[in-house]
Structure 1
Amino acid sequence: MTATAVTAPRATRKPPTWDAIRENVPAPGTAEGAYFHYTPAEAAEWLPFSAHKLRRMVHARQIPYVDNGNRIWFSGMNIRAISEQFTVQPFSKNAA
């Protein structure tokens, strides 16, 4: 009698889909986009940061975000506030 190795079937779990970019997402500057909730991947399309960097900045409490349970969301107003937060104004000389 020989023993054969019995292996368990592999799990067919899909990766999380909350970071997928949805279709027909309104722009943050529009009326529909002001209160629309964007995932970090969707917000990264409008900001100069990656989705991973946005998550790290949220955990460090450096940027505004929407706290709905255990997921990170950004409203259109949050995206505009983040953009303004990191906008560098030009240097203006004092009138002599």
Structure 2
Amino acid sequence: MTAPRAAHKRTPEIRENLPAPTTPEGELFHYTPYEAAQWSPFSGRTLADLIARREIEYVFNGRDNYLTGLQIVALSRRYTVAPFSKPARAKTATAA
């Protein structure tokens, strides 16, 4: 005999038609970690964990944690790796 299975899997609700964080409407819009995941380099669960450990900036409204569009953009820039560029060759002094 096996243990009973859970009736349903809990998935976070994601609102429809969210403004992008880079738009003027999205700069101060409050996104849940799972909504912000589509514009950040992390999953929703990872963002929620980073917020819980207070490793990133977030907005707390007394009950829930949110990220503003500006915070999402700053987070993306923080973890963006620029391509490597080779340094210019140093000129060697020639003996005259």
The alignment partner of 2:22 has SS state of coil
Following superposition, the deviation at residue 58 of structure 1 comes to 1.1
The CA RMSD over aligned residues, in Å, is 1.8
- Amino acid paired to 1:82: L
Partner of 2:13: 20
Following superposition, the deviation at residue 61 of structure 1 comes to 2.2
Percent identical: 52
1:38 aligns with 2:45: no
Contact 1:64 1:81 in 2 (8 A): no
Compute the TM-score of the two structures, normalised by the length of structure 2.
Answer: 0.73
Q: Which runs of 5+ in 2 are unaligned?
A: 1-9, 91-96
Following superposition, the deviation at residue 41 of structure 1 comes to 1.2
Following superposition, the deviation at residue 57 of structure 1 comes to 0.8
2:80 aligns with one of 65, 72, 87: 87
Q: Which runs of 5+ in 1 are unaligned?
A: 1-14
Contact 1:37 1:75 in 2 (8 A): yes
Q: How many residues align?
A: 80
